[in-house]
Amino acid sequence: MRAHRSRTCGGLTRLLGIGSISLCLLPWLHGCASAPVPEAPQLIRQKPPAQYLNRTLVPAFSGRTNADLLNYVDDLRASLGQCNADKDSILEWSKGD
């Protein structure tokens, strides 16, 4: 009979220990609940400098021979190179370099 009572007392002591720990932690739990919610960051959209927004003109073809066509291809490649240079400038500007 005594062995049965000691088990009951041991279980009760264990329950009281868990309950007292829970009561000690309760004020800290309440402190976490009242913390302010952080605000989401706001994005600021900036326009690139105006010098990078100029359009690159496409040269007009006004030739009749294959040599004229080759010159026109060279002009188009130069225009494409200018477009890529403008985009590289915008990329560098956006990085802040």
pLDDT tens readout for residues 58-92: 888 989 999 999 999 999 999 899 888 888 888 88
Model pTM score: 0.44
d(CA 74, CA 81) in angstroms, rounded, equals 10
> Mind listing the pLDDT tens digit for each residue in 13-68?
776 667 677 666 666 665 555 667 788 898 887 888 888 778 878 888 989 999 99
**Residue 39 is encoded by which pair of tokens?**
């605000």
